Amino acid sequence: MTEFTKIELLLESLGGEKRMNYALEGFQAALDSVGNPERTVKTIIIGGTNGKGSTTLLISQALKAAGHCVATYLSPHLQSAQERILLNLSPIPEGLLLTLAQEFEGTAKAYALTYFEYLTLLFFIYANRSHADFSVLEVGVGGRLDSTNVTDPIATVLTNVSWDHQALLGNSLKEILGEKLGILRKESLFFTGVDDKELRHIIEARCEELDAVYYYSKEIKTEVHSVNWEGQEVSLNGYRFSLKNPTPGALANAALAFLTLRITFPAIPISILQESFRVTTTPGRFETVSYHPRVVLSGDHNPEGVECLKKGLSSVAEGNIFTVCAFSPDKPYQQMFKELKNISSDILLTQISRLKEKTTSDYQGMGTFEPEATAAVTKMLAKMGPKDTLLITGSLYLVGELRKLWKDKVTF
Query: Tell me, what's the pLDDT at 407?
Result: 75
Question: CA gyration radius for the chain?
Answer: 21
Asked if residue 326 and residue 251 are part of one domain, the reply reads: no
Query: Tell me, what's the pLDDT at 20?
Result: 67
Question: In the listed set 210, 245, 279, which residue is the last one of a domain according to the structure?
Answer: 279
Mean pLDDT of 166-192: 86
Asked if residue 269 and residue 303 are part of one domain, the reply reads: no
In a domain, 216, yes or no: yes
Domain that holds residue 373: 287-407
Asked if residue 310 and residue 234 are part of one domain, the reply reads: no
Mean pLDDT of 51-70: 98
What CA–CA distance (Å, rounded) separates 234 from 204?
29
Mean pLDDT of 197-207: 95
Query: Tell me, what's the pLDDT at 142?
Result: 83
Asked if residue 310 and residue 264 are part of one domain, the reply reads: no
Residue ranges with strand state E in 248-376: 287-291, 294-298, 321-325, 346-349
Query: Tell me, what's the pLDDT at 19?
Result: 61
- At 187, the pLDDT band (50, 70, 90 cuts) reads very high
Query: Tell me, what's the pLDDT at 143?
Result: 80
Query: Tell me, what's the pLDDT at 13?
Result: 74
Question: Which residues lie across from 392 on neighbouring strands?
Answer: 297, 324
- CATH, residue 292: 3.90.190.20
Residue 210's closest CA among 229, 228, 191, 186?
A: 186
In a domain, 412, yes or no: no
Asked if residue 364 and residue 303 are part of one domain, the reply reads: yes
Question: In the listed set 211, 245, 279, which residue is the last one of a domain according to the structure?
Answer: 279
- At 85, the pLDDT band (50, 70, 90 cuts) reads very high
Asked if residue 138 and residue 121 are part of one domain, the reply reads: yes
Question: In the listed set 250, 279, 308, which residue is the last one of a domain according to the structure?
Answer: 279
What is the pTM for the complete model shown? 0.94
- CATH, residue 189: 3.40.1190.10
Asked if residue 308 and residue 250 are part of one domain, the reply reads: no
The pair phi, psi for residue 370, each rounded to 5°, is -120, 110
Query: Tell me, what's the pLDDT at 301?
Result: 82
Asked if residue 166 and residue 299 are part of one domain, the reply reads: no
Asked if residue 189 and residue 52 are part of one domain, the reply reads: yes
Looking at the structure of the chain, the number of domains it has is 2
Digit-coded pLDDT (tens) for 233-286: 999 999 999 999 999 999 999 999 999 999 999 999 999 999 999 999 999 999
Count, residues in the chain = 412
Digit-coded pLDDT (tens) for 87-101: 999 999 999 999 999
Mean pLDDT of 113-135: 97
